[in-house]
């Protein structure tokens, strides 16, 4: 991947964040357990997804009461209090936006 492509990817995430930062993600589906280090979340009896710990954490926080921007502030505060390395909001924008987008694309989130 060239530097130009990397730059374009970052712009797309920034644009994506700007479009959805004021929306409130609401999780859909239900947790049905773990397999190894992954969490299994099902939409119905025919559709289930394996989520990484990070994706599951984000999904579990999406209760429809906070905007994406508020979720990132909350996660930054919670992760900074519960880990030795503080997490700045700026560091969370890209990965959380990508996770939210992926969860939305497969139907595990909707925006309210």
Distance between first and last Cα of the chain = 36
What does the pLDDT look like over 55-110, one tens digit per residue? 999 999 999 999 999 999 999 999 888 778 788 999 999 999 999 999 999 999 99
Residue 82 is predicted with a pLDDT of: 77
Q: Which CATH number covers residue 72? A: 3.90.930.60
pLDDT for 37 equals: 95
With beta carbons less than 8 A apart as the criterion, state whether 27 and 63 touch.
yes
| Counted domains in the chain | 1
Q: What is the pLDDT of residues 84-97, one digit of tens each?
A: 878 899 999 999 99
**Which pLDDT score, from 0 to 100, does residue 7 have?**
45
Instruction: Evaluate whether 11 touches 51 at the Cβ level (below 8 Å).
Output: no
Model confidence band, residue 34 (pLDDT cutoffs 50, 70, 90) = very high
Residue 53, H or E segment: helix 53-61
Output DSSP code: residue 63. Answer: B
- pLDDT, residue 79, reads 86
- What pLDDT sits at residue 11? 54
Strand ranges (DSSP E) for the chain?
Answer: 25-27, 30-35, 38-42, 48-51, 109-111
Domain that holds residue 46: 3-111
Per the prediction, the chain carries an average pLDDT of 90
């Amino acid at each position: 991947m060239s530097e130009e492509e990397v730059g374009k990817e970052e712009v797309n995430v920034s644009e994506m964040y700007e479009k959805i930062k004021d929306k409130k993600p609401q999780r859909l589906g239900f947790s049905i357990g773990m397999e190894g280090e992954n969490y299994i979340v099902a939409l119905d009896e025919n559709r289930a997804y394996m989520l990484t710990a990070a994706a599951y954490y984000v999904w579990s926080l999406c209760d429809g009461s906070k905007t994406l921007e508020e979720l990132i502030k909350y996660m930054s505060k919670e992760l900074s209090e519960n880990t030795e390395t503080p997490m700045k909001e700026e560091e969370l924008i890209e990965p959380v936006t990508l996770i939210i987008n992926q969860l939305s694309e497969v139907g595990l989130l909707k925006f309210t």
